[in-house]
A and B are shown apart, each in its own frame.
Chain A
């Protein structure tokens, strides 16, 4: 938990859950696992609000609780981790991906689950059907079955998973939530590692749910609403067969999908569309056989690839072989050859591809910050590892004075490091080699922290801009509300123009400029998050292999 991560998490929590939750969340982030009394004592929030905030955090998966360290009798401890809270930045990307893969129904299911943390299948299906019915034309409504089918599809492809049952204090109680197929493993009273959702084999099983009905449209008059609410309260008390089984979004699966997309688009940019289709086929074939943290996919023979290519890509077999050879020879090393049987066995190198993508990101950052000649020096150092001052000037073909300046500006920003190689044991400066070098992993980590700081700055600037023009924003919102109600009740156009003129022209200009700025800041947050995803994947891939 670096300072930048904690600051960003605090801002995200404040924007989405309010200041109380933000206080509790940042306190837990800074101090690690604590029990309720300690949090109460150190934050000074009232017990009631503290309990509510913790409920909200646990509901959204940001906080996990477990029995205390001292034994089963000690009070439960709560801890948060930055990762889960930082995912909030990526929510629009998850929803958009669900829309591209599963249409509007999938999009709304994911959106509801992200907003509420976790929900049962029946309540999700009902809410989504109602929302879809709202947007349909009058007289048509969405059937629950369609939404249930979309839900099951999402579960089958592992985009949704069941929430793990909570850890209980006594050993006997923890035996019951453990599924029957694992009888041999003893359940220790103090679990050192919290069970993830994946450690329960039933996490992808769709329960048998009886849901018959169609989506409902909200009615306009309040009295009818009250009556319907009274009737609805009686209907909802029927159980749908899935009480207590809550579902949550499986972020790791989405991340695998994003990673695959990044590799495919990189291949398309570097080579051509056909090569990217070949890589896409290879990745699709190895979706189920490859574990998420694998270095490379299982080997696929060229015959299999040829058979699985999409039918509209009718390329001949020898041309496929040529494309595969090209992909293998490419210096980006996306595809590697693992053998000769079956016409050649090919693998997609995940970790190497991620490393290369991260390297390309670093190079582009240096290029945009310091210019193309500094970028040339940076790439040179990445390739040649250690170089002396003189060698840098010669290889980069840059005059000595400018090369010196550029190297020192890169050094001052910590993108380039200095390595001393002594000739004598006393490290005398006249008898030591000073070599410049670039270490990719630490530089990537530093860049990741910079990205977090960037997003935090963007959020703060957006909040500042909205606060400055708060009065103006409120005025425009009220006028819009008045306009909407006038239009609904059928007013004359003169009244509408009269209301519209309540905002003066310079105010309108100010509003437009404000909206443009806020949109730009928001869009920038989304795009910095793409860089964050790439670098995070790279850093995580190196920690799993090492």
Chain B
């Protein structure tokens, strides 16, 4: 390195062409840049007015709403014990919203969930129906047990669906009884 000892401070070009003198070089850097370099001029204050306040409120509201929408997919890891305590105080409607179904005509087919998942909501509906009319079903079951040999008890017109459910149950019971009789015969 021929230039190491002799020309360390020399530049390869004529420094006066740029208008810089030897003495006006900035200080050489010692270490990394500071994290918050100090500025000579303070920034201009923010605009403050009715418009800005309104837009600020809009922004914060929108952020809050979008975080509560079903589009906001939370990681499953968040569902710890603590979350369920607060969920008791959430309205039922908010929890129902979590099952959001998009318009599948606008999305590619491969994004649809697998077919076995489609069956679940159907099952849920049946379960829900039964749970809603649980009390009434219990009462009619008790009536049936009382009047077992009298045939179908009278039902009001509003409960046609319940009638079908009960008839289905009765048919199962009758079939069970027939099956038992057949079993008995075979054993003999």
The answer to whether A binds B is yes
Chain A residues packing against B (C-beta within 8 Å): 15-21, 36, 48-49, 51-56, 58-60, 65, 75-76, 91-93, 95-96, 111, 114-118, 120, 163, 165-166, 222, 225-226, 244, 246, 368-371, 389-390, 400-401, 404, 408, 429-430, 432, 434, 481, 519-520, 522-527
27 contacts between A and B (CB under 8 A): A16-B67, A19-B75, A20-B74, A49-B73, A51-B113, A53-B73, A54-B111, A55-B107, A55-B111, A56-B73, A91-B62, A92-B55, A92-B58, A92-B62, A95-B58, A111-B58, A115-B69, A404-B20, A430-B13, A481-B89, A519-B56, A522-B56, A523-B46, A523-B56, A525-B59, A527-B46, A527-B47
CB of A115 within 8 A of CB of B111, answer no
- CB-CB < 8 A to A117: which residues of B? 71
Q: Chain A residue with minimal CB distance to B66?
A: A16
* Segment touching A, from B1-9, B36-44, B135-143: B36-44
How far is it, in angstroms, between the C-alpha of A257 and the C-alpha of B43 when the chains are bound?
29
Which residues of B109-149 have CB atoms within 8 Å of chain A's CB atoms?
A: 110-113, 132
Q: Chain B residue with minimal CB distance to A96?
A: B55
Q: Name the distance in Å between A460's Cβ and chain B's nearest Cβ.
A: 14
Chain B contact surface mostly: loop
How far is it, in angstroms, between the C-alpha of A298 and the C-alpha of B43 when the chains are bound?
41
CB of A244 within 8 A of CB of B108, answer no
- CB-CB < 8 A to A59: which residues of B? 71, 102, 107
CB of B106 within 8 A of CB of A222, answer no
**What total of A-B pairs shows CB separation below 8 Å?**
140
CB of B65 within 8 A of CB of A115, answer yes
Q: Name the distance in Å between A394's Cβ and chain B's nearest Cβ.
A: 13
Besides A15-B63, A51-B111, A51-B113, 17 other A-B contacts (C-beta < 8 A): A16-B66, A16-B67, A19-B75, A58-B107, A60-B71, A91-B58, A92-B56, A111-B62, A165-B106, A166-B107, A368-B43, A369-B39, A371-B41, A389-B18, A429-B17, A520-B46, A523-B48
CB of B111 within 8 A of CB of A114, answer no
Which residues of B52-91 have CB atoms within 8 Å of chain A's CB atoms?
A: 52, 54-56, 58-60, 62-63, 65-67, 69, 71-75, 89, 91
Chain A contact surface mostly: helix
- CB-CB < 8 A to B75: which residues of A? 18-20
CB of A226 within 8 A of CB of B132, answer yes
Which residues of B6-51 have CB atoms within 8 Å of chain A's CB atoms?
A: 12-14, 17-20, 24, 26, 39-41, 43-44, 46-48, 51
Q: Chain A residue with minimal CB distance to B14?
A: A430
How far is it, in angstroms, between the C-alpha of A48 and the C-alpha of B113 when the chains are bound?
7
Q: Name the distance in Å between A458's Cβ and chain B's nearest Cβ.
A: 11
Q: Name the distance in Å between B76's Cβ and chain A's nearest Cβ.
A: 8
Count of chain B residues near A, Cβ 8 A:
51
How far is it, in angstroms, between the C-alpha of A525 and the C-alpha of B71 when the chains are bound?
23
- CB-CB < 8 A to A17: which residues of B? 66, 71-73
- CB-CB < 8 A to A526: which residues of B? 52, 55-56, 59
Q: Which of A20, A55, A111, A434 contacts B17 (CB 8 A)?
A: A434
Q: Which of B20, B66, B102 contacts A55 (CB 8 A)?
A: B102
Say yes or no for B157: interface residue by CB 8 A criterion.
Answer: no
- CB-CB < 8 A to B67: which residues of A? 15-16, 18
Q: Name the distance in Å between B12's Cβ and chain A's nearest Cβ.
A: 8
How far is it, in angstroms, between the C-alpha of A116 and the C-alpha of B112 when the chains are bound?
19
CB of B62 within 8 A of CB of A369, answer no
Q: Name the distance in Å between B109's Cβ and chain A's nearest Cβ.
A: 9
How far is it, in angstroms, between the C-alpha of A120 and the C-alpha of B105 when the chains are bound?
13
Say yes or no for B92: interface residue by CB 8 A criterion.
Answer: yes
- CB-CB < 8 A to A18: which residues of B? 67, 72-75
How far is it, in angstroms, between the C-alpha of A430 and the C-alpha of B16 when the chains are bound?
8
CB of A246 within 8 A of CB of B18, answer no
Q: Name the distance in Å between B61's Cβ and chain A's nearest Cβ.
A: 9
Question: Beyond A20-B75, A59-B102, is A225–B108 a contact (Cβ under 8 Å)?
Answer: no
Q: Name the distance in Å between B129's Cβ and chain A's nearest Cβ.
A: 10
Q: Which of A53, A368, A429 contacts B13 (CB 8 A)?
A: A429
Q: Chain A residue with minimal CB distance to B44?
A: A368
How far is it, in angstroms, between the C-alpha of A481 and the C-alpha of B112 when the chains are bound?
39
Q: Name the distance in Å between A42's Cβ and chain B's nearest Cβ.
A: 17
- CB-CB < 8 A to A36: which residues of B? 110-111
Closest 9 CB pairs of A and B: A429-B13, A389-B19, A92-B58, A430-B14, A92-B55, A92-B59, A18-B73, A16-B66, A20-B73
Say yes or no for B156: interface residue by CB 8 A criterion.
Answer: no
Q: Name the distance in Å between B165's Cβ and chain A's nearest Cβ.
A: 16
How far is it, in angstroms, between the C-alpha of A18 and the C-alpha of B103 when the chains are bound?
21
Q: Name the distance in Å between A268's Cβ and chain B's nearest Cβ.
A: 16
How far is it, in angstroms, between the C-alpha of A523 and the C-alpha of B12 when the chains are bound?
51
CB of A65 within 8 A of CB of B71, answer no
How far is it, in angstroms, between the C-alpha of A93 and the C-alpha of B20 when the chains are bound?
49
Q: Name the distance in Å between A385's Cβ and chain B's nearest Cβ.
A: 19
Say yes or no for B160: interface residue by CB 8 A criterion.
Answer: no
Q: Chain B residue with minimal CB distance to A91?
A: B62
Q: Name the distance in Å between A102's Cβ and chain B's nearest Cβ.
A: 15
CB of B52 within 8 A of CB of A434, answer no
Q: Which of B19, B52, B66, B93 contacts A225 (CB 8 A)?
A: B93
How far is it, in angstroms, between the C-alpha of A420 and the C-alpha of B161 when the chains are bound?
90
CB of B52 within 8 A of CB of A115, answer no
Q: Name the distance in Å between A115's Cβ and chain B's nearest Cβ.
A: 6
Question: Beyond A56-B73, A369-B41, A429-B13, is A434–B18 a contact (Cβ under 8 Å)?
Answer: yes
- CB-CB < 8 A to B89: which residues of A? 481
How far is it, in angstroms, between the C-alpha of A45 and the C-alpha of B102 when the chains are bound?
21
Q: Chain B residue with minimal CB distance to A222?
A: B92
- CB-CB < 8 A to A51: which residues of B? 110-113
- CB-CB < 8 A to B43: which residues of A? 368
How far is it, in angstroms, between the C-alpha of A116 and the C-alpha of B159 when the chains are bound?
39
- CB-CB < 8 A to B132: which residues of A? 226
Q: Name the distance in Å between A80's Cβ and chain B's nearest Cβ.
A: 15
CB of B66 within 8 A of CB of A65, answer no
